[in-house]
Chains A and B, each alone.
Chain A
């Protein structure tokens, strides 16, 4: 069993009676890349504040590599090997990127050592290498104030690495970045995770999906659930937390919905007719929430707003019955309007992925057709 790098036990932080963290228990293995998500006010940033010593816990313990962290000051904790990147980039604008990195790279951070010892060659080399990694070598000697937002984010990640911590805490690394930059940031974090333990806090679900192996969901100051991205995404409690209304769909039903939604999104347009089908089928299939369909509809629109690759969704279907259901629902959805090229190819792909016998497919299709026309009449 791997060593625990971070263990948090029954942690509570309260500000004047308001509990920002509430009996939170959390642990993480060495070398793990963990993503923490949660709605606004879930306590994500306070969680980092406690680990880095900025906020002292009201109750509970935080252990890093077996050492207790409570009572230690921020710089002490940083020297133990915890580095933090802030939500908005906090770099030194009046210094150059090279100087920023050298500042963090400095291994002996005592006053006198900083004053009297010149920067060692090895550190200069490390900094040079880092500048290349974060793509700032051509701007290394200009004031950091002139960098773009994305470059600043990268510089701060670079500063974090320069510190050579064992645990990296990264708060919203892709906020305000372009898609391309986001993608590259993700790759950078994944490569960092090979040699460090990393905790990432993020809102951007696409990005989370790109990097996440293990996800922890925080809600109202405690851990709501933990697991892989798919487990978490289909967990009804998580959906409830993000959408604010109670839904009674099971994870399996959620999966079906997602596949259907992906089909509906195939032509880049989620038509009202398609939505109606899904809703109607939902109510028939799951026989719930028929009385306030309007609310459910808007909810589902949010829920199904994202297109997720079929390759990821389909393998999660476990029983043949589920596969059949998925096929029927999808066929009905795309059949709601004139089937176009994009939809046809998406449907074709689904059929291939579902890997059902050909006769089953045609049987289901005709059944659905008949069903659909019945429903219409």
Chain B
């Protein structure tokens, strides 16, 4: 009985930790920048695929190396996701600040592209894309250096875009004729990442109670990420700038803070954390193009329940949602209820919701009920400026 409860709470905490590590990046991007990034899940997926690639790389070094791939995969996942996030911020999101609903749609578009990219990326496609980028940016730079076109500049840029896209696509398609080049790197099928052997064990506390090492690892990783993020935001110079820009963009710009660079950095940081989250979840299941979409809605719920802009809110919310989901979904609640006639309807209801997907239904109903009491989340921001 007690073991069951402890086990339930441990599993709940570990679900909460996964939620939290996913939601952490989201909380930064949403809380500090007000940007809804629906491609966050796909950045996670990129992190997961990076882990897969790193693991394959380590495999070639032999068995001994295999055990430590994760230590290399974590920073690399962070880096890949952060770079993609950076590119995303500079190319799309920058145009859409102050238009949150449009950002939401645009990032959804990005997430579609990233998903399909992972499914169909091959050498042929990579070459094609490289050629497009080279021609496009090279052509633009050349045009602006060599010729002064005045009002026709826009038309010229458009023509360059069409031409380079055309050449790139043609090249890509012709390369597709070669089977080796046309073979997709990952394809649409899920791939498996084998956890290092030291994470496949369980740590037993008593005879009936044991904690899987992978889950403990994720909890530890989440704590490290949290502490790191907290330190970065509250103690470092860039963190101070980020907070300054969050509170008053114009004033910060007047004080000489490079607000655009701060935006890019903040977004890259949030994206990088998504990459780490992606790396972490490879320990729990297989990796596929849809990996991110399974987590994203839950992660948003964590941010909404916690209260936007507060890390501590996200932490508490993630733990509560994790524990409640597990206790409902695993049927622990049913086991814990004393069986008596009087509460039979309650037991029936609990049984009805005792699957993972039905637990989600109930948890959401609880969230809606909670928002009736505290619409701004657990830790709302107060003051005159909150709602204009």
Q: Do chains A and B touch in the complex (CB under 8 A)?
A: yes
Flag A165-180 by CB within 8 Å of B: 1 or 0 each.
Answer: 0000000000000000
Q: Report A105 CB to chain B, min CB distance, Å.
A: 25
Residues B382 and A16 in contact, CB atoms below 8 Å apart: yes
A302 to chain B, nearest CB (A): 25
Asked if B154 is at the interface of the complex by the 8 Å CB criterion, the answer is: no
Let me know if B382 and A46 touch, CB within 8 A: no
Chain A, Cβ-Cβ closest to B387: A54
In this complex, the interface size class of chain A, counting residues with CB under 8 Å from chain B, is under 10
A55 CB–B CB distance under 8 Å: yes
Assess whether B384 is in contact with A46, with CB atoms less than 8 Å apart: yes
Q: How far is the CA of A45 from the CA of B385 in the complex (A)?
A: 11
CB proximity to B under 8 Å, residues A259-297: none
B143 to chain A, nearest CB (A): 36
Decide yes or no whether A20 CB sits under 8 A from chain B: yes
Distance between B18 CB and nearest chain A CB, rounded to angstroms = 32
Q: Is the CB of A55 within 8 A of B384?
A: yes
A20 contacts B384, C-beta separation under 8 Å: yes
Chain B residues near A49: list those with CB within 8 A.
384
A116 — which chain B residues lie within 8 A by C-beta?
none
Contact with A along B258-275 (1 / 0, CB 8 A): 000000000000000000
Complex CA gap A191/B384 in Å reads 32
Residues of B340-388 whose CB lies within 8 A of A: 382-384
**Cβ contacts A216-240/B at 8 Å (1 or 0 each):** 0000000000000000000000000
Chain A: CB-nearest residue to B383? A15
Interface centre among A15, A20, A45, A49 (most CB of B within 10 A): A15
Chain B nearest Cβ from A45, distance in angstroms: 7
| Bound: A336/B50 CA distance, A | 84
Question: Which residues on A sit within 8 Å (CB–CB) of B384?
Answer: 15, 20, 45-46, 49, 55
Q: Which residues of B contact A46 (CB under 8 A)?
A: 384
In the assembled complex, the Cα of A20 lies from the Cα of B382 at a distance in Å of 12
A49 CA / B386 CA spacing, docked (Å): 13
CA distance A46 to B383 in the complex (A): 10
Which residues of chain A in 2-49 are interfacial with respect to chain B, using CB atoms and an 8 Å cutoff? 15-16, 20, 45-46, 49
Chain B residues, Cβ within 8 Å of A45: 384
- Closest residue of chain B to A16 (Cβ to Cβ) is B382
CA distance A16 to B383 in the complex (A): 8
How far is the CB of B247 from the nearest CB of chain A, in Å?
Answer: 15
A20 to B385, CA, bound (A): 13
For A20, the chain B residues whose CB sits under 8 A away are 384
A78 to B384, CA, bound (A): 20
CB distance from B17 to the nearest CB of A (A): 30
A55 to B382, CA, bound (A): 11
Interface flags for B111-123 (1: CB within 8 Å of A; 0: not) read 0000000000000
Residues of A within 8 A of B382 (CB): 15-16
Contacts of A55 in B (CB 8 A): 384
Closest residue on chain B to residue A54 by CB atoms: B387
Beta-carbon nearest neighbor of A17 in chain B: B382
**Beta-carbon nearest neighbor of A88 in chain B:** B388
How far does the alpha carbon of A15 sit from the alpha carbon of B383 in the complex, in Å? Answer: 5
Least CB distance from A90 to B in Å reads 9
Q: A50 to chain B: closest CB distance in Å?
A: 11
List the A side residues contacting B383 at CB < 8 Å. 15-16
Least CB distance from A14 to B in Å reads: 9
The residue on B at minimum CB distance from A46 is B384
Contact mask A40-66 → B, CB, 8 Å, 1/0? 000001100100000100000000000
> How far is the CB of B380 from the nearest CB of chain A, in Å?
10
Complex-state Cα separation, A46 to B382, whole angstroms = 13
- C-alpha gap A303/B384 in the complex (Å): 31
- Bound CA–CA A223/B382 (angstroms): 24
Binary contact readout A192-215 vs B (1 if CB under 8 angstroms, 0 otherwise):
000000000000000000000000
Interface 0/1 of A345-358, CB less than 8 Å to B:
00000000000000
The 8 A CB mask of B307-349 against A (1 = contact, 0 = none) is 0000000000000000000000000000000000000000000
CA distance A16 to B384 in the complex (A): 11
Q: What does the 1/0 interface line of B234-264 toward A look like (CB < 8 Å)? A: 0000000000000000000000000000000
Q: How far is the CB of B218 from chain A (nearest CB, A)?
A: 35
Residues of B within 8 A of A16 (CB): 382-383
The smallest beta-carbon distance between A218 and chain B, in angstroms, is 15
Output the least CB separation between A138 and chain B (Å): 32
- Minimum Cβ distance to chain B for residue A15 (Å): 5
State how many angstroms separate the Cβ of B383 from the closest Cβ of chain A.
5
Once bound together, how far apart are the Cα atoms of A45 and B383, in whole Å? Answer: 12
B residues near A15, Cβ cutoff 8 Å: 382-384
CA distance A15 to B386 in the complex (A): 11
CA distance A284 to B302 in the complex (A): 71
* A20–B384 alpha-carbon span in the complex (Å): 9
Cα A27 to Cα B93 with chains together (Å): 51
Write out, one digit per residue, whether chain A residues 73-94 have a CB within 8 A of any chain B CB (1) or not (0): 0000000000000000000000
* CB-CB nearest in chain B for A14: B382
From 322 to 360 in chain A, residues with beta carbon under 8 angstroms from any chain B beta carbon are none
- Minimal Cβ-Cβ distance residue in B for A49: B384
Rounded to whole Å, the gap between the CB of B353 and the closest CB of chain A is 35
Nearest to B385 among chain A residues (CB) is A15
What is the distance, in angstroms, from B376's C-beta to the closest C-beta of chain A? 13
From residue B171, how far is it (CB to closest CB) to chain A in Å? 47
Cα separation A49 to B384 with both chains bound (whole Å): 9
* Shortest beta-carbon distance from B384 to chain A in Å: 6
Minimum distance in angstroms from A88 CB to a CB of chain B: 10
CA distance A49 to B382 in the complex (A): 14
Q: Look across to chain B and name the residue whose beta carbon is closest to the beta carbon of A86.
A: B388
CA–CA, A45 to B384, complex, Å? 9
Identify which of residues 28-50 in chain B touch chain A, using a CB-to-CB cut-off of 8 Å.
Answer: none
A202 to B137, CA, bound (A): 54
What sequence of 0s and 1s flags, for each residue 201-228 of chain B, a beta carbon within 8 Å of any chain A beta carbon? 0000000000000000000000000000
CB distance from B77 to the nearest CB of A (A): 38
**C-alpha gap A16/B382 in the complex (Å):** 7
Distance between B382 CB and nearest chain A CB, rounded to angstroms: 5
Nearest Cβ distance between residue A139 and chain B, in whole angstroms? 27
**Bound state CA distance, A208 and B382, in angstroms?**
32
Report the separation of the CA atoms of residues A16 and B310 in the bound assembly, to the nearest whole angstrom.
15
Min CB distance B313 to A, Å, is 15
**In the assembly, what is the distance between CA of A363 and CA of B245, in Å?**
67
With A15-B384, A16-B382, A55-B384 already in contact, 7 other A-B pairs whose C-beta atoms are closer than 8 Å: A15-B382, A15-B383, A16-B383, A20-B384, A45-B384, A46-B384, A49-B384
The 8 closest A-B pairs by CB, nearest first: A15-B383, A15-B382, A16-B382, A46-B384, A49-B384, A45-B384, A15-B384, A20-B384
A selection of 10 A-B contacts at a CB cut-off of 8 Å is: A15-B382, A15-B383, A15-B384, A16-B382, A16-B383, A20-B384, A45-B384, A46-B384, A49-B384, A55-B384
